[in-house]
Amino acid sequence: MKRVVTIQDISCFGKCSLTAALPVISAMGVETAVIPTAVLSTHTGSGFTGYTFRDLTDDIEPIADHWERLGLKFDTIYTGYLGSRRQIAVMKDFIGRFRREDTLVVVDPVMGDGGRLYAGFDNAFVTEMRSLCALADVILPNQTEAALLLGRDYSNSLTEADTREMLMRLTQLGCHTAVMTGASPDSTRCGAAAYDSREDRFYTSYGEKIDGSFHSTGDIFSSVISGGLTLGMGLQTALDLAVGFTHDCIRATLPIREEQWYSVRFEPCLGRLAQICENFIR
Ligand code: PXL
C-alpha cells in the first residue's frame, strides 16, 4: 500500500489542512500518516478571529527520531501550512532524513490568498519558504503564493502566457514541477496550470469558473494531487482529477453556502473520488 506523510497544522474546526488532507488522501486508497505542526481552534481565514494557536515544533523532531528507529518509509512527503520559519527549517531536516531515491516531495507553500499574506506571516517567512520549495519535487502555489515566491506584485488577471512564464520561473527555485492553482484562461473557466521542467512541458486543466472564494479548496486540491501522484498517475491525470474534485466540492457547497462559509462540503464527493482511484491502486 502506498503511504504519504503529510505535515501541516490541525485546525480543530474549519475543514482545512489535516482535517481535509486526511479524509481526502485516505479515500484515495493511500495510507496517510500525519505530523501536526500546530493545533488551532479554527483556521485563521475567512472571518475567524480569536483562534487559539499551540505550536508543536518541539514535537516534530522526537516523532521523526522514533519513526527513524522504526524504519518507517514514505512514498510521498507532503507539507502544507507551516506556522513559523523555524518549522520550515525543521521540514528541511525531515526531508533530508526521510527522502529516498524514489520519494516524492510535494510542498504546498501555504502563505496567503487574494493577494494578501495570511495572518502571522511576513517577508522573512516567504524567503524561508523559497528555500523549502528548492528541496521539493513538486510545488503547488496559488496565484498569490506564486507572486510572493517570485517577489512580484500580485495580479488576478494573468494571461496564459503570464502563467506559463511564472511556472517556468518557479521551477528555477529548484523543484522540477510547479503547479499553479486559480489559473484562468478566460472569464468562463478556472482551474490549474503546471510546468514540468524535466520534459519542458506545460499542462492545464480547467472547469467552469464559479464566482466567489471558497476557503480550503487549495488544501483539497493539493491533497488530491499528492494522492494522485503517489498512486502513479501522470501529471495531466492528477491535475484533471484534482480540478474536477475541487469543482465538485464547490458545487456541492453552493446550495448551503451560508452554512459552510468556512470551507467546502467535500464529504459527499469522497465516494466518487475513491471509485476513480480504485483503478490506480496496485
Ligand atoms: O487552508 C490553508 C490554511 C491552513 N491552516 C491554517 C490556515 C489556513 C488558511 O487560512 O489558517 C491554520
- pLDDT at position 282, please? 82
Note the pTM of the prediction, 2 decimals.
0.98
What is the best residue among 13, 46, 118 to mutate for testing ligand 1's pocket, by most ligand atoms within 8 Å of CB? 118
Residue 55 phi, psi dihedral angles, 5° rounding:
-75, 135
What is the pLDDT of the chain when averaged over all its residues?
Answer: 97
Ligand 1 centre and the CA of 163: distance in Å?
24
| Band of pLDDT at residue 216, cut at 50, 70 and 90 | very high
Domain 3-270, CATH class in plain words = alpha beta
Q: What is the DSSP letter of 267?
A: G
What is the best residue among 34, 40, 51, 110 to mutate for testing ligand 1's pocket, by most ligand atoms within 8 Å of CB? 110
Q: What are the residues whose beta carbons fall under 8 Å from the beta carbon of 106, sequence distance 6 or more?
A: 76, 77, 78, 79, 136, 137, 138, 139, 140, 222, 225, 226, 229
User: How large is the average pLDDT for residues 250-267?
Assistant: 97
Is pLDDT at 30 greater than 90 in this prediction? Answer: yes
- pLDDT at position 119, please? 86
Strand partners, 36: 8
Q: What is the CA radius of gyration of the chain?
A: 17
Residue 270 phi, psi dihedral angles, 5° rounding:
-70, -35
User: How large is the average pLDDT for residues 172-201?
Assistant: 97
Give me the half-sphere count of Cα atoms (radius 13 Å) on the Cβ side of residue 267.
Answer: 5
User: How large is the average pLDDT for residues 97-101?
Assistant: 97
17 pocket-lining for ligand 1 (C-beta < 6 Å): yes
48 pocket-lining for ligand 1 (C-beta < 6 Å): no
40 — alpha (psi -120 to 50), left (phi > 0) or beta? beta
Is pLDDT at 2 greater than 90 in this prediction? Answer: yes
Which residue, by CA, sits nearest to atom 7 of ligand 1? 43
- pLDDT at position 45, please? 83
Residues 211, 222: Cα–Cα separation, whole Å: 21
Query: Cell numbers 503547488 label which residue?
Result: 140
Q: In ligand 1, which atom is closest to the CA atom of 46?
A: 10
Is pLDDT at 144 greater than 90 in this prediction? Answer: yes
- pLDDT at position 199, please? 98
Q: In ligand 1, which atom is closest to the CA atom of 40?
A: 12
Is pLDDT at 264 greater than 90 in this prediction? Answer: yes
The Cα-based distances of 101 to 69, 96, 138 in angstroms read 20, 11, 15
- pLDDT at position 46, please? 73
